[in-house]
Amino acid sequence: MIDLIIKNAKVATASDLFICDIGVDKEKIVFLEKNSSKVAKRTIDAKNQYVLPGGVDGHCHLDQRTKDGTEMSDNFESGSRSAAFGGTTTIMPFAIQFKGESLRKIIDEYHTRANDQSYIDYTFHPIISDASSKVIGQELPAMVKDGYTHFKIYMTYEDLQLNDREILDTLEAAGREKAVVMIHAENYECLKWLTEKLEAEGKTDPVHHSDSRPGVVESEATNRAIALSRITKTPILFVHVSDREAIETIRNAQNKGYKIYAETCPQYLFLKRDDLKKGNFEGAKYICSPPPRDPENQKYVWNGIQNGTFDILSSDHAPFNFKGDKGKMINGDKTPFKNIPNGVPGLETRLPLLFSEGVLGKKISINKFVEVTSTNPAKIYGLYPKKGTISIGSDADIVIWDTGLEKKIKNSDLHHDTDYTPYEGMTVKCWPGTVISRGNVVVENGKLLGKKGFGKFLKSEISNYVY
Ligand code: URP
Ligand code: ZN
Ligand code: ZN
């Protein structure tokens, strides 16, 4: 007898929509059949419910080391728990390298942070901030061989940014090794110059974070990174793209046949610059980089999902408490925007927001939803078809969705350890009802049934996207 059958499932993959029974045994999907007569230890009837591959969140920050006295409010336990409640069954947090550190050492350290903590499977993106010849000449190739095939680099942040020369060296090495390079594209010198001018005028409130990082700061860096990618003939993936000109720049490069990939995030569809103006320092809750733009800009982000400019939609969950002295209020409720830690929480709300407004709001198809939230991140980061689809032989990471709801998002209902959500009060029309990770029910009827430590580290294959 097999472990589980999900009957009458309305299954959507990135390409198809069909009704069938899904058989699960020993953590894998073992059959997809119409009106199966097989029996299982447990049967779930999913009649009239969408049954989708578990979400793959290709970009989140958990228990990430910082240098400014702040502390992330979610670790692998609370972050993975929250992700599971939101229908995500694979997460990809970052392992950050500071200058002078060995990549291998930081990876070992992040394994210690994650070990026996996660409810769902995970992999890491190492962040390269020290592009020394040892790091990119020796460590990077060795790490790719060991299953770390995707890295992030920054064009901004004092401690993390690489200059153009270092980016060229890193891209050349990554290209040789067939690694995926994720790029945070903002021009550091420009935003630093703007920040200094704003400070001189006494403009240090949260909303001025947005003035220090206008769209052109992002689009200039995007354009330059595409040039560096072309020079080294190495594909790149832009993360958390927000600005309409940056989107157009990426689209143009893709149209010319360059291997340029892109990710966006819910904050660029559902949050806006005016949120940063909220009083009593509330605007700090919305500070992330790049910053939320204006409502007109949101249309370009939706369009980028519709027309395929964006391959991936991730949360970029970067959790800092609003209250207390380790988060947004690191220097009290007058903390100048420059010192407010960047990032918003969103692991749990990513899928319900996009499903509700995108699919049920008829902006995107159910297949596009699966593509950008599960299949593409699994493919691009070398985990497909183990993750990211419903097919025979794939891990049984499956979400049965409840629709026809009117649910107000409230932080008190979420399962992260962060003291706010920027989506407080927004209404969604769906929520994951049953969440299954490798055949095990992790969440059902709002209850956590999964076990801390069940989630395993996943080694990544070389991605087809970089050939
Ligand atoms: O503001 C953001 N996005 N914080 C997280 C760090 C990053 O650059 O992704
Ligand atoms: Zn970034
Ligand atoms: Zn991020």
Is ligand 1 within 6 A of the CB of residue 317?
no
Cis peptide before 385 (omega within 30 of 0): yes
Separation of 60 CA from ligand 3 center, angstroms? Answer: 6
Average pLDDT over all residues of the chain: 98
Atom nearest to 154 CA in ligand 1: 8
Q: What is the mean pLDDT of residues 135-163?
A: 98
Q: Whose CA is closest to atom 2 on ligand 1? A: 343
Backbone angles phi, psi at 450, to 5 degrees: -75, 170
pLDDT at residue 311, as a whole number = 99
- Residue 168, pLDDT > 90, answer yes
pLDDT at residue 198, as a whole number = 98
Q: What is the mean pLDDT of residues 43-53?
A: 98
- Residue 35, pLDDT > 90, answer yes
Tokens of 381: 């980061």
pLDDT at residue 467, as a whole number = 85
Separation of 58 CA from ligand 3 center, angstroms? Answer: 10
Is ligand 1 within 6 A of the CB of residue 298?
no
Sign, CA dihedral 317-258-235-132, equals negative
Is ligand 1 within 6 A of the CB of residue 273?
no
pLDDT at residue 267, as a whole number = 99
Atom nearest to 94 CA in ligand 1: 9
Q: Is 116 helix (H, G, I), strand (E, B) or coil?
A: coil
- Residue 351, pLDDT > 90, answer yes
Tell me the pLDDT band of 315, cut-offs 50, 70 and 90: very high
- Residue-by-residue DSSP string for 291-325: PP--HHHHHHHHHHHHTTS--EE---B----SSSS
- Ligand number, closest to the Cα atom of 153: 2
Separation of 160 CA from ligand 1 center, angstroms? Answer: 12
- Residue 44, pLDDT > 90, answer yes
Is ligand 1 within 6 A of the CB of residue 328?
no
Q: Taking a C-beta distance cutoff of 8 angstroms, is the pair 367, 16 a contact?
A: yes
- Ligand number, closest to the Cα atom of 152: 2
Q: Which amino acid type is present at position 230?
A: R
How many CB atoms sit inside 10 A of residue 362's CB? 8
Q: Taking a C-beta distance cutoff of 8 angstroms, is the pair 261, 236 a contact?
A: yes
The pTM for the full model equals 0.98
Separation of 344 CA from ligand 3 center, angstroms? Answer: 9
Q: Taking a C-beta distance cutoff of 8 angstroms, is the pair 103, 139 a contact?
A: yes
Domain ranges of the chain: 55-374
Backbone angles phi, psi at 355, to 5 degrees: -65, -45
pLDDT at residue 196, as a whole number = 98
Mutate to test the pocket of ligand 1, among 57, 61, 68 (most ligand atoms within 8 A of CB): 61
Tell me the pLDDT band of 279, cut-offs 50, 70 and 90: very high
CATH assignment of 55-374, given 3.40.50.2000, 3.20.10.10, 3.20.20.140, 3.40.50.2300? 3.20.20.140
Distance CA 100, CA 63 (A): 21
Separation of 363 CA from ligand 1 center, angstroms? Answer: 27
